[in-house]
Structure 1
């Protein structure tokens, strides 16, 4: 009997590898076909990963997504990476991350290289004139849609307004995490409204937390000592990726404040053009970081831009991955605490306020240009009252820019 069982055991590994390969193929399909941000990503994950493939139940996917909403980092990226961890452990999770992020990262890096090529040959960027106000329209709609989902009471509305005013009055990359943490602490104290759950002892494995912290400190020290711009780019994005809650919409004001207003690595026109184009790019919206990283190293030629795009992408995606690896192992115990669940309300509300502040800051310089105002209004109306995908709108905007 034992010998018979031993003859059956070897095929298990090949079957598992085939399952992993099929899963990674599904991730690649999603990475190349999902447009529109975390909400659309979640809907397509439900369709392909739950309904078609049954890797997990709908309840399990929604629970994973809720966990990732609490953590810093890109929500949809963390969700699909956590699913890879659930199916095949850390190795499959890292492969999942690479397959999910690379199409968007490479595409946005290529866009940055193309943008610099155009500028070097003194070709006008006037063809982007329409997609810049369109980017503001996308941001306004994103803020409105987030607000509808996460603001349910007067406290949430007050936190959103305060965070918007604070972010607008103090456009510093360091004010964003302060506002978000303050919002989470504010609602955490009203935990009595949450349903009580039976608590179990929390067993924490600290390896991935110390890995995240070690990379954060090490990159900061190495960047300060060497003054190497690629390393500083990595450190800048790693820090932002460690502090951003709420997805790409909240990341936008952080990146604008740091790389346009504070460090002047990009012009406002370049930033808005990239922000609009990323709406027409499949995969995670955090791939916008690779566009900024590539343009930040434009003086080093195309190889430097490629390095900048990859360093920015590694910096922005790694913290969220370390966090989900760290927290996922004790999530079942952590979610039973009411204060943890209550803090999400404040985090979401302040994240909404940050998005509103970014939209207003970007709209203000074009508010006296009626063509730009018309494009912003038209973009908002088309997004809200038509079923035209964002990438079609961007393509049309570029086409109109070329014609006019």
Structure 2
């Protein structure tokens, strides 16, 4: 693989531009990368961009972050790749950590009330339903995939444990890999030269974090391990992250309430940069039990960001060196269908699990439906929809407070 040398500051300046202006999800992100990094700067060719993005899509972890890191690796080697990772995630991490601190402060001032988020909580369900529709449309193409999706949705709903998700993904991949004969043949070369350093780094960090978390019980270390494990299992982008995080941090560990989770997810839809930044929000709120105040929230936001983003980066650096040969094996390509179908099923379960604690009244159902139809049939950017919901919610809370007062 050819590594092209460019001036670090120039590439990093373009990455920071993306990190503060890339609103609108993966489609908008790709369009901006194509415009800035391919057409304007010529860091890589358009064909190379699509190849790298396709590779990142089939690996666990945040696709946009892996794409940025992979381009950085191509144009400047490992050092530039890690610097671009840091620059890309930092603005969203700061914003979402600050959002968690603000949400906690506002709840303290209103005796635990989240009335200011009254509108954006059901709106978050609308975003998830819209994301599920788009994801299923792209990933579920066959009857077998549809059956796997429905089965995984059933299992994820009735056996809601973070430890069952990895087994579901493996089972889905094995199921579809058995029908590899339907995949077109590509000439295979015997022997793939694999460099194991980054894979061993990925596995070593996971084992070390799990061991330290188990024996020390230190909350930041446990948070890092929790997010690192989740970041190693997520296929399908930021929307698929939702069932994992909701199950582990709301249902299983009760670090957050369902209302707090929905508030954070809604806010994350209006923030530029990687959608995995919701992890910083969850990590910051999870640190409340440590009693460290704002400092603890900042620590929680940073370690959670490190945990969620690092495994995907290690894995892309591992696979990118031999992917051209690996993808020629039909069972490998066939397994992706099952993995993606299971991810879609978990996303369906997440939408229902998030709605379940919410009162099934006219207001909530109308807010979900209106949000979905705005996303589906208008060109209003997501940040404006979220900002509108926050403004209306704050106005509602002020009105209620004045009425009571």
Q: Which residue of 2 aligns with 1:202?
A: 192
CA contact (8 A) 1:367 1:373 kept: no
Q: 1:40 to 1:177 in 2, by over 3 A?
A: farther
SS of alignment partner, residue 311 of structure 1: helix
C-alpha separation between the residues in 2 aligned to 1:188 and 1:89?
Answer: 34
C-alpha separation between the residues in 2 aligned to 1:248 and 1:127?
Answer: 25
CA RMSD of aligned residues (A): 1.4
CA-CA distance at 1:17 after TM superposition: 5.0
C-alpha separation between the residues in 1 aligned to 2:141 and 2:169?
Answer: 18
CA-CA distance at 1:59 after TM superposition: 2.0
Q: Which residue of 1 aligns with 2:402?
A: none
Matched, 1:387 2:375: no
Q: 212-221 vs 45-54, which deviates more?
A: 45-54
C-alpha separation between the residues in 1 aligned to 2:54 and 2:199?
Answer: 20
For structure 1, the 5+ residue unaligned runs are 1-14
C-alpha separation between the residues in 2 aligned to 1:184 and 1:268?
Answer: 31
Q: Which residue of 1 aligns with 2:235?
A: 245
CA-CA distance at 1:46 after TM superposition: 2.0
CA-CA distance at 1:43 after TM superposition: 2.7
C-alpha separation between the residues in 1 aligned to 2:27 and 2:335?
Answer: 21
Q: Which residue of 1 aligns with 2:68?
A: 80
Partner of residue 135 from structure 1, selected from 118, 124, 136: 124
SS of alignment partner, residue 35 of structure 1: coil
List, as ranges, runs of 4+ consecutive aligned residues in structure 1 with deviation greater than 6 Å: none
Matched, 1:188 2:180: no
Matched, 1:66 2:66: no
CA-CA distance at 1:35 after TM superposition: 2.0
Q: Which residue of 2 aligns with 1:349?
A: 341
Q: Which residue of 1 aligns with 2:395?
A: 403
CA contact (8 A) 1:366 1:373 kept: no
C-alpha separation between the residues in 1 aligned to 2:271 and 2:364?
Answer: 23
CA-CA distance at 1:156 after TM superposition: 1.5
Partner of residue 155 from structure 1, selected from 136, 139, 144: 144
TM-score normalised to structure 2 length? 0.93
CA contact (8 A) 1:65 1:75 kept: yes
C-alpha separation between the residues in 1 aligned to 2:318 and 2:339?
Answer: 20
Q: Which residue of 1 aligns with 2:400?
A: none
TM-score normalised to structure 1 length? 0.93
Q: Which residue of 2 aligns with 1:264?
A: 254
How many residues matched?
A: 389
Q: 1:16 to 1:202 in 2, by over 3 A?
A: closer
SS of alignment partner, residue 82 of structure 1: helix
Partner of residue 278 from structure 1, selected from 268, 278, 302: 268
Q: 1:38 to 1:177 in 2, by over 3 A?
A: farther
